[in-house]
């Protein structure tokens, strides 16, 4: 592990210099995810500072979510979480992920014509029983299950979509190219949920694993609602960003 002595004559306090040095190594990839950091005693010797300085630097890195601590074992580099913006925008999650450089695959588990249930009808503002294209899709990121989405769209807006090949495609791209549907806005609700046995098996988690439940409805420029979905999101590798202006 690269290191250098800290300057007692610098304007920044020693703990901040140490925190910056460690953060630079983490962000530069010199310290990998889940790799243990040197012990407090080792950091004290490596950088020529006191235990108090080391503890303050590590405390700040924990606050920044760059490291985590395990009681009795020490400090470890936290896995990087991709910052996603789709919750606060009209972009799709696949677009967001690809922009972050992740490998994204999408598997269609179900795709059919069906009658809108009460919840779908309320979200889409259509009569209960009107035909919708209903689909269930599993998105994987870098090979791991990441998002399980149940989507409903009014069939009159997307004729033939129930037969379209959607494997490894962005649904929003298909809607734009094939039907000229361009989202103008969306409402999304987020809550902590636990999956049932079936959903847990698909996402490869246990039923006691907390997930983020996301419910969404999107509309076109003329305010026609064209998409409603409920998603279960594994949040252990990502975090959401919502800017308020």
Residues 134 and 43 in one domain: no
Residues 102 and 210 in one domain: yes
In a domain, 9, yes or no: no
In a domain, 4, yes or no: no
Residues 220-229, buried b or exposed e (16+ Cβ, 10 A)?
A: beeeebbbbb
Q: Structural domain of residue 114, as residue ranges?
A: 82-241
Q: Can you read off the two tokens belonging to residue 131? A: 């035909």
Residues 94 and 152 in one domain: yes
In a domain, 6, yes or no: no
- Residue that is last in its domain, among 77, 100, 126: 77
Residues 58 and 131 in one domain: no
Structurally, the chain folds into a number of domains equal to 2
Residues 105 and 225 in one domain: yes
Residues 236 and 161 in one domain: yes
| Vertex 216 angle, CA 203 and 200, to 5° | 15
Residues 128 and 182 in one domain: yes
**What DSSP assignment string belongs to 168-202?**
T--HHHHHHHHH-----EEEEEEEEE---HHHHHH
Cβ contacts of residue 96 below 8 Å, gap of 6+? 84, 85, 86
Residues 72-84, buried b or exposed e (16+ Cβ, 10 A)?
A: eeebbbbeeebeb
Residues 47 and 110 in one domain: no
From CA 38, how far away is CA 19, in angstroms rounded? 13
**What DSSP assignment string belongs to 95-135?**
HHHHHTT--EEEEEEEEEEEE--HHHHHHHT--TT-EEEEE
pTM > 0.85: no
Cβ contacts of residue 181 below 8 Å, gap of 6+? 157, 158, 175, 220, 226
* 67: CATH: 1.10.10.10
From CA 15, how far away is CA 112, in angstroms rounded? 59
- Residue that is last in its domain, among 55, 77, 99: 77
Smallest CA-to-CA distance from 148 within 201, 101, 186, 80 is with 201
**Beta pairing, strands 211-219 & 144-154:** unpaired
- Residue that is last in its domain, among 77, 105, 126: 77
To the nearest 10 degrees (0 to 180), the angle between helices 40-47 and 51-63 is 110
Which pLDDT tens digits describe the chain residue by residue (245 residues)? 445 678 887 888 999 999 999 988 888 888 888 899 999 999 999 898 999 999 999 999 988 878 888 888 899 998 766 555 555 555 555 555 555 566 788 999 999 999 999 999 999 999 999 999 999 999 988 788 989 999 999 999 999 999 999 998 889 999 999 999 999 999 999 999 999 999 999 999 999 999 999 999 999 999 999 999 999 998 766 666 666 65
């Amino acid at each position: 592990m690269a290191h250098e002595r800290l300057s007692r004559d610098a304007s920044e306090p020693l703990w901040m210099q140490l925190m910056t040095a460690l953060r630079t190594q983490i962000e530069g990839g010199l310290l990998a995810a889940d790799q243990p950091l040197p012990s407090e005693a080792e950091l004290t010797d490596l950088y020529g500072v006191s235990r108090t300085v080391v503890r303050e630097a590590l405390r700040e890195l924990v606050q920044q979510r760059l490291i985590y601590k395990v009681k009795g074992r020490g400090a470890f580099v936290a896995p990087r979480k991709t910052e996603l913006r789709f919750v606060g925008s009209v972009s799709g999650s696949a677009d967001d992920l690809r922009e972050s450089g992740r490998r994204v695959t999408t598997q269609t588990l179900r795709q059919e014509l069906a009658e809108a249930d009460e919840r779908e009808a309320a979200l889409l503002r259509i009569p209960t029983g009107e035909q919708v294209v209903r689909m269930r899709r599993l998105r994987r990121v870098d090979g791991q299950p990441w998002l399980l989405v149940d989507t409903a769209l009014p069939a009159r807006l997307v004729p033939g979509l129930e037969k379209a090949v959607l494997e490894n495609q962005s649904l929003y791209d298909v809607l734009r190219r094939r039907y000229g549907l361009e989202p103008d806005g969306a409402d999304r609700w987020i809550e902590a949920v636990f999956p049932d046995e079936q959903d847990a098996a698909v996402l490869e988690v246990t039923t006691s694993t907390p997930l983020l439940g996301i419910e969404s409805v999107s509309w076109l420029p003329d305010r026609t609602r064209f998409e409603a979905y409920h998603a279960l999101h594994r949040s252990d590798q990502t975090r959401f960003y919502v800017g308020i202006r």
